[in-house]
Amino acid sequence: MEDKPVATDKLSTSRDWEPLIVAFFCNWCTYTAADLAGVSRMGYDPNVRVIRVMCSGRVDPQFVLDAFAHGADGVLIGGCHPGDCHYVEGNYKALRRYLLLKRLLRELGIEEGRLRLEWIAASEGEKVSKTINEMVEQVRALGPLRLTRKFKEWDAELAALEAEAQSEEVAAHA
Amino acid sequence: MPDKPKIAFYWCASCGGCEESIVDLAEDILEVAQAVDIVFWPVAMDFKRKDVEAMPDGSILATMVNGSIRTSEQEEMAYLLRRKSQILIAYGSCAHTGGVPSLANQFSREQILRYVYEDAPTVVNEQRVRPQPRHQHNGTAVSLPEFRGLVRSLDQVVEVDYYLPGCPPTPKLLKQAVLTLLSGNLPPKGTVLAPDTALCDQCPRKETKPTDLKINEFKRPHWTQIDPNTCFLAQGIICMGPATRSGCEAQCISGNMPCTGCFGPTSRVRDQGAKILSSLASSVNAREPEDIEKILDGIVDPVGTFYRYSLAKSLLRAKVTR
């Protein structure tokens, strides 16, 4: 059976596994800070894929679950410090969702360290690099999550029957 | 007499409530029976699998399958009915999104079998006998279906054309669906045959839902004197209404019980549980982590509450470390 990993799973299926982290950074603080880290030539681990959102309050819990389901080993959310939200309340909403989502993830078998929320102001380029490096180490210690691969394994029990049904169909149309 | 269109009903991992809802058509069932031939309905009529196997492919106009898929036999029936039917309809929450049975996806096959055949307090099984797919009994080979590692929705096993949501779907929606099928004027494939708005939109208590909802405490319905005229969320009772499709005519609400989410999400939502989580959490009236946690402690079973009918179709599908 062919077993082509999808593009998003490339890192987590390679022989030397490297953690893959999806980061949602808010436009006004954390993304700007990541920019600052860049122009200041601060290095950080290349394991992170940054997605810019307008506010940490825009991070729908579906985005986090979808990232895990597509092969992320960890998800990092970055927003403005409490009181600094460009939209006044967005980061508080993000905090509440994050705390409830952590409870849900725990029950669904995803370790605490795979989801992190951090307040990083536009001036804190260094904190971006430190947070990313820390998280990469933490997720490295936890090991791969590899949900794309797991889903395939779970569905292997369906494959035999499906193949049989398909061959019957081919025979019926021959 | 020209042949009437053929309809079939089948059940997989379900409680029988969906079958009941078909009977709930009451007098209307006569109208349906007049317009169509029911060619297969194990719960009510004496047709066997071999009768279905003998039918030409695509000879059934529509088959409604209720129940989720847990065993190899249910898979085989799903494939068989798919092949014999022009239109396959996932009928009810279990076939649509996994339903209550898919909450078992929080446990491994081993955990489930051990509990059911060994550890449950009502079980006496000193030899720890477990059902086997194949067994020799007095020289005769007997077999049982395989118990799969996961509960699945119907569309995780075969292609599905339409969905009738609900636990169970209402007779009104069923009647509408049958009339639509007979009219030949079919909606696009994949359509859920119910309105595409959230339940709140049709809720008789809509006017009492605050625009800026603030939840100070989550209360459990059985410990609370519930005001029959005020929005459940405004009373601190978890109601799945904001993340659930309408079409049930707010029956639970009218019975003074909150929505538990059986109609599944609307078409814009991929993961019903994540969406209600998002909505509830954002309404929690606290800003400090420890105050927020204290309020969240009131949600005793997040998975069972948010995914009561939809764990199989959620983004993670199951507890990932079963």
Domain with A100, as residue range(s), is 8-146
Q: How far is A43 from chain B (nearest CA, A)?
A: 31
> B167, B93 in Cβ contact below 8 A?
yes
Query: For the segment B116-135, what is each residue's pLDDT rounded down to a tens digit?
Result: 999 999 999 999 999 999 99
Query: For the segment B146-197, what is each residue's pLDDT rounded down to a tens digit?
Result: 999 999 999 999 999 999 999 999 999 999 999 999 898 999 999 999 999 9
Residue A72, domain member (yes or no): yes
- Residues in B touching A96 (Cβ below 8 Å): 281-282, 284, 286, 292
Instruction: State which residue of chain B sits closest to A57, comparing Cα positions.
Output: B282
The residues of chain A scoring below 50 in pLDDT are 1-7, 9, 11-13
Between chains, do A69 and B315 touch, taking CB under 8 Å as contact? Answer: yes
Residue A173, domain member (yes or no): no
Instruction: State which residue of chain A sits closest to B56, comparing Cα positions.
Output: A172
Number of domains in chain A: 1
- The confidence score (pLDDT) of residue A173 equals 65
Tokens of B85: 């039917």
Q: What is the DSSP letter of A81?
A: P
Residue A161, domain member (yes or no): no
What ranges make up the beta strands (E) of B122-230?
Answer: 134-137, 140-143, 147-152, 162-164
Burial (CB count <10 Å: 0-12, 13-18, 19+), residue A93: buried
For residue B38, pLDDT over 80 is answered with: yes
Tokens of B183: 């009219």
> B313, B160 in Cβ contact below 8 A?
no
| Domains of chain B listed by start with CATH number | 6-100+149-183 (3.40.50.700), 104-148 (no CATH), 199-306 (no CATH)
Domain holding A18: CATH number?
Answer: 3.40.50
This model of the complex carries an ipTM of 0.94
Share of chain B above pLDDT 70, in %: 99
- Residues in B touching A110 (Cβ below 8 Å): 316, 320
> B88, B82 in Cβ contact below 8 A?
yes
Between chains, do B106 and A107 touch, taking CB under 8 Å as contact? Answer: yes
CB count in 10 Å sphere of residue B87: 17
